[in-house]
């Protein structure tokens, strides 16, 4: 196939074959970046067709910056991104703070101007990546779900077993199939135990004209123009209700905890699943809202308008940081949610998945030959783990403050402030991999010192667990953050 002139110039061919499992944001971006870095790419997806559901997420500058190599995606991204404001409310909908934009914060030595936060609708961003893949001649092979993984170290191959028993292999297998991946049995040697958080989310996004057809809803949530995207965060004891909208999309999320359910006929928290395809009925949500004192009718009207095939019931699970993403023979590597899961409210899952994709493709290019792949994967793992673990920890910061009504005046969550820090948004994963590849190679092979520079200045990393953090929060203690996190 002839690649169009508006696609990036590829690095010289490496001869490395890459099989990517999973066509979410992580997998699609890995396919694009592996192609750009000179590798041969094949991508499979367990779903029978493209998944078009999902709501909004934040993708930070450290990830969006990578699009500069893809002119068509730069152009498309400018069309689909929007600029949110956030305001805090109690559970009657009464406003405690005026809407305001969220700005990235500039560090003390910064020479860059921080940008305002932008958000994307998952289906639009996903479709943009798919169109770019098509332009370079790569098609997603749907209906291929991996149920097992294998590798042959002497032969230098990694592979997968499909549900029908067929096998596929390549020089390197990139696992991007999300939470609960079967690949942990080969990377960690065991399944990763997930711990229930006690929380579940009803969440949806649908065309805004469905909501605007109701005059009461339209009056309370007026039509939005241009790139604006107001977000209202309603908070109270054990309940969060987040309403977001743009010129073309309406979304809402209701978070509930197990103890919220006080009627025997109300929806069961344990019926939620850790899946982005578990649909439910809006009437189930109304069984919760009717237990909330002074809950406004306009919110119930919005919930009733939600299409049944667009409402998900997602169970929030906790997992400890997973330090090893690479199989023993170095032919299989995890990226995105398969390697590191984030709470949905962390605001970093998509960004870190894209950073993973860029870092991995770069490390494979730096390896330059197939027999160096195992070291390239281990180097990528070492470059990324401490950073993503810090961000996982940050996602737990002052999480409990979401579950109390905001007071009038300036109400800014500490976690949001920290997430705007320059050590997060100013990172360049490609440059970082290029600059540190051989330093980490020496570190892994000879034990020479290596200091992470993609984490908060002055932070000394130590391993931590969800149980440790939860115990601190239950005792009313703040999570300790040494170094300059903000």
Q: What would the mean pLDDT of 153-182 be, rounded to a whole number?
A: 93
pLDDT > 80? residue 108: no
pLDDT band of 317, cuts 50, 70, 90: confident
pLDDT band of 250, cuts 50, 70, 90: very high
Of the chain, the percentage scoring pLDDT greater than 90 comes to 62
Q: Residue 215: which residues within 8 A CB-CB, separation 6 or more? A: none
Measured on CA atoms in the order 465, 466, 469, 470, is the torsion positive or negative? negative
Q: What would the mean pLDDT of 213-226 be, rounded to a whole number?
A: 95
Other CB atoms within 10 A of residue 225 CB: 8
pLDDT > 50? residue 132: yes
Pairing type for strands 332-334 and 172-175 reads parallel
pLDDT of amino acid 262: 41
Pairing type for strands 40-45 and 17-21 reads parallel
Cβ contact 227:82 at 8 Å: yes
Domains of the chain: 17-84+102-193+322-434 (3.50.50.60), 195-318 (no CATH)
pLDDT of amino acid 211: 96
Exposed / middle / buried, residue 444 (Cβ in 10 Å: 0-12, 13-18, 19+): middle
pLDDT of amino acid 165: 94
Q: Residue 471: which residues within 8 A CB-CB, separation 6 or more? A: none
Q: What is the pLDDT of residues 384-411, one digit of tens each?
A: 999 999 999 888 876 655 555 666 555 5
Query: Helix-strand-coil percent breakdown of the chain, rounded to 5?
Result: 35, 20, 40
pLDDT band of 302, cuts 50, 70, 90: very high
pLDDT band of 181, cuts 50, 70, 90: confident
Q: What is the pLDDT of residues 193-213, one digit of tens each?
A: 777 777 888 999 999 999 999
pLDDT of amino acid 260: 41
**pTM over 0.85, yes/no:** yes
Query: Between 482 and 195, where is the model more confident?
Result: 482
Structure tokens at 122: 């998952």
pLDDT > 50? residue 266: no
Q: What is the pLDDT of residues 111-124, one digit of tens each?
A: 666 677 889 999 99
For the chain, the distance separating the N- and C-terminal CA atoms, rounded to the nearest angstrom, is: 47
pLDDT band of 137, cuts 50, 70, 90: very high
Nearest to 413 by CA among 426, 396, 393, 389: 396
pLDDT > 80? residue 107: no
Structure tokens at 325: 């993403």
Structure tokens at 481: 């953050």
CA dist 437 and 297 (Å) reads 57
> What one-character DSSP code corresponds to residue 390?
H
Cβ contact 173:159 at 8 Å: yes
Question: Any idea which residues carry the catalytic annotation?
Answer: 203
pLDDT > 90? residue 416: no
132-164 CB burial, b ≥16 within 10 A, e <16: bbebbebebebebbbeebbbeeeebbbbbebee
Bridge partners for 121 per DSSP: 56
Helix axes 373-395, 429-446, angle to 10 degrees: 110
pLDDT > 80? residue 104: yes
Query: Between 6 and 129, where is the model more confident?
Result: 129
pLDDT of amino acid 26: 97
Q: What would the mean pLDDT of 433-449 be, rounded to a whole number?
A: 98
């Amino acid at each position: 196939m002839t690649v169009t002139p508006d696609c990036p110039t590829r690095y010289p061919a490496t001869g490395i074959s890459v099989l990517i499992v999973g066509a979410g944001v992580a997998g699609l971006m890995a396919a694009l970046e592996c192609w750009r870095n000179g590798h041969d790419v094949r991508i499979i997806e367990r779903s029978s067709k493209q998944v078009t559901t999902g709501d909004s997420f934040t993708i930070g500058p450290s990830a969006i910056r990578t699009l500069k190599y893809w002119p068509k995606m730069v152009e498309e991204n400018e069309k689909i991104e929007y600029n949110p404001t956030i305001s805090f409310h109690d559970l009657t909908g009464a406003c405690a703070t005026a809407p305001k934009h969220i700005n990235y914060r500039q560090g003390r030595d910064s020479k860059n101007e921080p940008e305002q936060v932008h958000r994307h609708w998952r289906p639009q961003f996903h479709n943009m990546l798919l169109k770019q893949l098509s332009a370079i001649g790569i098609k997603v092979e749907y209906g291929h779900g991996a149920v097992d993984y294998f590798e042959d170290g002497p032969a230098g191959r990694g592979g997968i077993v499909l549900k029908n028993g067929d096998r596929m292999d390549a020089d390197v297998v990139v696992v991007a199939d999300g939470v609960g991946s079967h690949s942990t049995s080969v990377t960690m040697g065991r399944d990763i135990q997930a711990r229930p958080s006690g929380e579940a989310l009803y969440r949806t996004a649908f065309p805004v004209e469905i909501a605007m057809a109701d005059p009461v809803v339209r009056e309370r949530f007026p039509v939005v123009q241009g790139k604006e995207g107001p977000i209202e965060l309603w908070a109270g004891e054990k309940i969060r209700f987040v309403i977001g909208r743009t010129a073309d999309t309406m979304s809402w999320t209701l978070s509930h905890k197990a103890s919220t359910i006080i009627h025997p006929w109300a929806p069961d928290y344990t019926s939620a699943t850790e899946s982005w395809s578990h649909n439910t009925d809006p009437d189930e949500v109304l069984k919760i809202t009717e237990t909330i004192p002074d809950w406004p009718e306009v919110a119930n009207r919005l919930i009733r308008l939600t299409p049944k095939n667009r409402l998900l019931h997602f169970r929030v699970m906790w997992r400890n940081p997973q330090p090893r993403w690479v199989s023993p023979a170095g032919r299989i590597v995890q990226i995105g949610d398969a390697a590191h899961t984030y709470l949905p409210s962390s605001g970093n899952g998509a960004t870190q998945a894209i950073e993973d994709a860029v870092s991995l493709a770069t490390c494979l290019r730096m390896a330059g030959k197939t027999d160096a792949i195992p070291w390239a994967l281990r180097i990528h793992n070492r470059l990324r783990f401490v950073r993503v673990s810090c961000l996982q920890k940050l996602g737990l910061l002052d999480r409990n403050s979401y579950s109390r009504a905001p007071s009038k005046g300036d109400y800014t969550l500490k976690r949001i402030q920290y997430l705007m820090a320059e050590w997060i948004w100013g990172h360049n994963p490609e440059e970082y991999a290029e600059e540190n590849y051989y330093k980490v190679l020496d570190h892994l092979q000879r034990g020479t010192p290596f200091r992470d520079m993609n984490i908060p200045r002055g932070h000394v990393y130590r391993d931590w667990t969800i149980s440790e953090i939860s115990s601190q929060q239950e005792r009313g203690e703040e999570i300790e953050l040494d170094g300059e996190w903000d």
